[in-house]
Structure 1
Amino acid sequence: MSDLTYPEIGATAGVLPSGYHHVRAERVIGRGRIAFEQAADALLCGAVQRRAGATVRMSHTPLRVGTRIDMRLGPFGIPCLVVWAERDDDHAGFAYGSLPGHPECGEERFDLTLAATGEVTFTITAFSRPGRWFTRLAWPVNRLVQRRMTERYLRTLDSPAVR
């Protein structure tokens, strides 16, 4: 994992590091075991990013630690490496970090939780800062793009739209 462009590997699991823009967003996407299982299958196969409009290539499916993900959104290449992945009876998720060539430096985490109440919650946590000259130059626009992508990600797994 030495190729990652930031030192705080795994920080999306706890206290987010200072010096970065932080994102925390969540949404109830469905109810019940079937909704959770379908959403977890989709999440760990890259469907969230695809459904949000990115072209996605992954070195392994389902995602696991060490999977390289090469995304493209319009003209921008977005190379990432999975630094955490997990799936059990009531939780599934992964986090990826930025690799050289990514427009930003940082990490993004995608978590699904099946609560005892039956609610399935999708949570996104991220920290980032500009990683390229053009993202430094367009920082306010980048925040808007990140907010819109987070909103799109959160809606990709809605039940019964889980595909």
Structure 2
Amino acid sequence: MERRPLHDRRLTYPEVGATAGALPPGYHHLVRHRTVGTGEAAFRTAADRLMTWDLHRRAGIGVDPGTPPAADGTRVLLRLGRGPLRITAACQVVHVLDEPRRRGFAYGTLDGHPERGEERFCLEWHDDDAVVLTLTAFSRPAAWWARAAAPLARRVQDRVTQRYLHAL
């Protein structure tokens, strides 16, 4: 695991912000969505849970209680697993959506993250009243052990994505 303080780490990929448009070549791409509710109350509740990292916690991802809400530049340590199989992943929020009917953010990987890339969480309140969460990501292994276990890493990513989609 990376030993440098979180504030000293750098983003590990050049395509910052690409989850908002065409996903870059050379990465594994992921786009998934799910209706999580209907109406304004559902949108506001889900947006609050998303922006305060509660979505991650509800999906079984460890986030320190003192982590500030997602904002441009916010850095976060995410933890998955237990004991010797625990993975710690450092990320930085690179974009925030704050519109009347769209909320969310994208974060990118920092030094020490086992993957290299970006993930976007976008919550939309559609005209038909449906509240839809869309996850968009591009990634590739960065750590030697992530490259060696790439097929397993994809399965873990798919499982975590499903947990995110069902956490709101």
Same fold (TM over 0.5): yes
TM-score for both structures, normalised by structure 2:
0.90
| 1:89 CA drift (Å) | 1.3
| 1:61 CA drift (Å) | 2.7
How many aligned residue pairs are there?
157
Q: What secondary structure is seen at the aligned counterpart in 2 of 1:61?
A: coil
The equivalent of 1:57 in structure 2 is: 64
TM-score for both structures, normalised by structure 1:
0.93
The equivalent of 1:140 in structure 2 is: 151
Q: What secondary structure is seen at the aligned counterpart in 2 of 1:101?
A: coil
- For 2:66 and 2:103, the matched residues in 1 are separated by 19
Counterpart AA for 2:90: P
| 1:86 CA drift (Å) | 2.1
| 1:87 CA drift (Å) | 1.8
Alignment partner of 1:115 is 2:126: yes
Q: Where does structure 1 lack aligned partners over 5 or more consecutive residues?
A: 158-163
Counterpart AA for 1:8: E
- For 1:79 and 1:54, the matched residues in 2 are separated by 12
The equivalent of 1:6 in structure 2 is: 13
Counterpart AA for 1:142: A
Q: Taking every aligned residue pair, what percent have the same amino acid on both sides?
A: 49
- For 2:52 and 2:40, the matched residues in 1 are separated by 18
Equivalent positions of 1:9-158 (< 5 A) are 9-57=16-64, 61-74=68-81, 75-157=86-168
Deviations 1:1-23 (A, max 9, x none): 98100000000000000000000
Q: Where does structure 2 lack aligned partners over 5 or more consecutive residues?
A: 1-6
Counterpart AA for 1:149: V
Counterpart AA for 1:19: G
Q: Calculate the aligned-residue CA RMSD, in Å.
A: 1.5
